[in-house]
Each structure stands twice: as structure tokens, then as C-alpha cells.
Structure 1
Amino acid sequence: MSLQQELGALAVDIAHEAGALARRRREEGVSIAASKSALADIVTEADREVENLIRERIAAARPGDGFLGEESAAERGTTGITWVVDPIDGTVNYAYGIPSYAVSIAAVSGEPDPREWQALAGVIHAPALGELFHVVRGEGAWLGGQRLKVNAEVNPAGSLLATGFGYDPATHAAQLEMLGRVMPLARDIRRIGAASLDLAYVAAGRLDGYFERGLHPWDHAAGVLLVEEAGGVAAGVPGSAPTREMTIVGSAELVARLSAIVFAGAAGNKATTP
């Protein structure tokens, strides 16, 4: 078994256990632990409990690896492998009882920075939906035993796109303005509320493309690898991998079209800013 396969198998095993815990805690009732960047950006007790479980399982299996999680401080390891984890992506959905939430786990090599790392394996598990997406670099992207493929052609009727919005109200006007510029390219827009599922759905061909500003590394580490192994492309600002500044995924043609629209508008905004 290769290193990537070993990491992928471990991620799947841990995701099953973590997803079961998240679903059980949701059925028992959700307790809000805190807010993060904004009042609407919440953390539940289950987020922390699930992340602790994932961290403990990884430490037991691979004690030298690093860890970068949403709910805890980053830790550098000694092996060159870092686990990038979102214990419950879509926390607001989770708190409201909407089933579109997921456990996202990725193993990456190199610096724990999406501009520098190489993702080796990942899993996105939506326990309330009964779906587990998994990926190993060089071996394709999968939903159970079904191999996934990004929609390669841009539909003349327009592309089914997904996006998201930040929790800070100060960002909403710019995000809505960007959405308005993108709409001529779209058949319709979806707002699922969990970036990991948006990315998994692009890999599965359920969405044609996805774009969003403000994602953290744990939001997209597993999902970007899924898209790439399903034949798609992931980009950030021109010439960069996905970062907090921008994440765009889809077929190569669609990503090029979206990037041209998104960044042409951004350049125009800078030009008119006093």
C-alpha cells in the first residue's frame, strides 16, 4: 500500500466515526459554544468534540503528523504530513437541522499552506445524507464505488453554479455585486451552505462550477483534490492555487470564464477606488 493509499484509508475510517458522532450529537440537540469571526459564525460543542476525536485518532495512528483544524491551533509534525480538518462544515445548517453538513479531512505534504502543499488524500462525509466522497492522488475521485467526473462541457443554457457568502455583513455588497456579474454565465445559482459539499458536488457533476471568496484551508483541502482527480481545475487569484482571496472550481473552460468575469470586475473596482 502506498503512502497516499494508507492516508486515504485512515481518513475514510476516521470520517465514518466522526460523522457518526456528529449525527448523534445533532439528534441529541445542538448546544452553541461560541461565535467566531461574526455573530452569525457559530461554533457548536459538537464541532469541538468531533475535531478532538479526529485529532486523537490521527495521533494514535500517525503520531508524527501535523494537524491544522478549524477549532484548534495548528501543530507542525515531523513527518512532512499535515492533516487539514473541518470537523463540521456547514455549522449553521447543522445547528438548524438542515442535513447539508459534512466532515472534511485531508492529508497534505509540504508546508501547511494551500499555495505550497500537495494534497495526497481526502474525504468528505455527509452523515445525514449517507454519502462519503473519497479521493487519493492519482487514483481518481469516488462516491462509494462510483468514480466521479466533472462536467467538461459548458452548457449553452448556462452553467449551474454554487457560491457562498461571508458572515461579515460588510462583505455582502461586494459579494452580491460579484454574483450579479456572474449571473449571465449561469443557468441558476445554488447556495448550499457548506463549501466542502459544493466542491464534492462539482466533482460529482451535480454542479458545473463553484466560486467563493473567504474560504479557509480546511474548507477546501479535501474538496479541491476531489475536483482535480475528477478531471476539473481549481484556481484562486490568477496564477495561484485557491486561497482566502478566491476559490473557483469546475472544468478548465468554465474556470477560465469565471476567472475572467470575477477578476475583470475586481480590477475595475480597484481602478475606481479613490
Structure 2
Amino acid sequence: MSLAELEQRPLLTRQELQDCLAAAQQAARSGGDELLRSFRAVTDVRYKQAHTDPVSGADLASEAAITGWLRRHRPDDGVLAEEGSDEAGKSGLRWVVDPLDGTVNYLRGHTFWGVSVACEQWRGGRWDPVVGVVFDPLHDEVFSAMEGQGAFLGEERLSGPLTGHLDDALIATGYAYDVSHRREQGVRLAGLVGGVAGVRMLGSTALALSWVAAGRLDAYFEDRASRWDWAAGRLIAREAGARVRPLGTGVLAAADVLFEGIEEHVVTADTVEAQGNSSW
């Protein structure tokens, strides 16, 4: 189906959104189950674009479980996943999957990692997330959102960041795989760190954005990330009331009252240029 034909697909009904949400939750749990089987027992690790970017058999097993579930239950939809799955589909819907966001944490035995599954619809010349699920298997926490319907942790509705002052804010960030770019990120972060309560580098974009939605963090930013890192999390944060914008190829999400104070430190000419190639 051509992109022009996809544009003609009507917006999803509430029931269709609920069906997609249920599918995302089931798919994410199937991946999470695979990850729990191998946690703290992984030996087959290799590296992709840099020594800071590992992949393991657990990543691949999780992606196979998620995409296999989607192919069986949503055969007409497209799939885009971090470890290589890329199928166009014919329904006007696409699943964007990060089978393990926080791989370094996972491999080192840290507990901050999760599974991200988003459903996107093609409209207005771009893919827009309409359903997002981020699953934290170790703590059995399911963060979810449907477009226009709010964000939830399990059955609890989320209301986003709580802090109203920048000097009280707890923020998190993510660093690029490219070590030279990390140095640039460090310089920008230095201008911000003295004006906030604390800065964390947690290691999972998807889960950090979900923590913004839950009020556990007041802001998150990362200027180099892939679509599968933030597709679900950005929707969850936005539906919880956070203000969200693209930042380079990544994302900035924060309490509205804090947004401009953080933005002035992290938006640069480089991030604006990268944004021109962003898939938002």
C-alpha cells in the first residue's frame, strides 16, 4: 500500500486503540518473559556500532518473541524493531519495538531496563504514536498510554512531573554511543547541573520517560536516540501532562513550568540541525 493510500485510513476508534493497547501489552510481556529467563546469566555478547553499544542473545530472543506475537495476531501491520525487523505492512499501522532498552544495565545486572512497544499510524506525512507500552519486567510495572486517553501505571492514572521549580528538579539524561559526542553533552550538562536538585544517568530512555510520566523524574533529555527508544515513552510522558519536543534525533520531556529553563541549556545549533533529519 502506498503512503498516499495510507493517508486515507480513518483515525482509530476508541475500540481499535484499546485493541492495539492490549496487543502492545501482550507483546511486551512476551519479550519481558524472555529477558527474565536470561537476566544475570548472559554470556553471548557482541557489539554493534561501538564498544558502548552491545547486543546479546537476550535482546534477539526478546525481539523474536515480540515480533512473532505481532505477526500472529496483527499480520497486516508493519514492524520496525531495533535488532533488524523491518516490515512495511498494509494496514496503515506500524509497531515500533525496542526489545531491551537498557542493554548495558541488563548485562551488568542493574535493574533499570525494560521493553518498549509503540503502535504508530501514518498520517500527515509521518508516523505518529497512538499507543505506547513500556514494561519493566523485574518490577512487573506496565506503563501505558493511548492517544488522547491519558497515561497509566497499571490501572493508576499518571499525572506527570510534580516539581514546579527548576532548583528542586530531579532530571535524567542519556549519553550517545559516540564517545566524542559525549564530551559535548557533558559540556552542556555542566551548564545545567548547578541549577537543579540532581541529575541521573539511568540508561534506558523508554523507562526514564515513563518515570517522568509517573512523577519520579521531573525531566528527561537525550539528543541522540533512535525511534524505538522513545516512540512509546514520549507518548506516555505527553499523555501524563509533560511537555515533549524533539531534541536532535532524541527527545526532551519535562514539566511544563520547567521546560524552557531546561531547554535553553540543551538545545544547540547541532541539535536543531539533527532535528531536520528527525522522524518526528
Runs of 4+ off more than 4 Å: 264-267
Match of 1:6 among 4, 9, 19: 19
Whether the aligned pair in 2 keeps the contact of 1:68 and 1:83 (CA below 8 Å) is: yes
| Residue identity matched to 2:232 | A
Once the two structures are superposed, residues 112-137 of structure 1 have per-residue CA deviations (whole angstroms, 9 ceiling, x without a partner) of: x9x92221111111111221111111
For residues 258-273 of structure 1, the aligned pairs below 5 Å read: 258-263=262-267
For residues 1-274 of structure 1, the aligned pairs below 5 Å read: 2-26=15-39, 29-110=41-122, 116-151=126-161, 153-155=163-165, 157-237=167-247, 244=249, 246-263=250-267
Q: 1:160 to 1:96 in 2, by over 3 A?
A: same
Q: 1:264 to 1:71 in 2, by over 3 A?
A: closer
Secondary structure of the 1:11 match is helix
Q: 1:36 to 1:10 in 2, by over 3 A?
A: same
Whether the aligned pair in 2 keeps the contact of 1:178 and 1:265 (CA below 8 Å) is: no
Structure 2, unmatched stretches of 5+, are 1-13, 272-280
Identity of aligned residues (%): 33
CA shift, 1:265, in A, is 7.7
| Residue identity matched to 2:24 | A
Structure 1, unmatched stretches of 5+, are 238-242, 268-274
Secondary structure of the 1:185 match is coil
Q: TM-score, normalised by structure 2?
A: 0.86
Q: 1:157 to 1:86 in 2, by over 3 A?
A: same
- 1 CA distance for matches of 2:267 and 2:105? 30
Q: 1:60 to 1:195 in 2, by over 3 A?
A: same
What is aligned with 2:6? none
RMSD between superposed Cα atoms in Å: 2.0
| Residue identity matched to 1:21 | E
- 1 CA distance for matches of 2:201 and 2:44? 23
Secondary structure of the 2:203 match is coil
Q: 1:186 to 1:105 in 2, by over 3 A?
A: same
Whether the aligned pair in 1 keeps the contact of 2:117 and 2:132 (CA below 8 Å) is: yes
| Residue identity matched to 2:109 | G
Secondary structure of the 1:186 match is coil
Whether the aligned pair in 2 keeps the contact of 1:32 and 1:42 (CA below 8 Å) is: no
CA shift, 1:158, in A, is 2.9
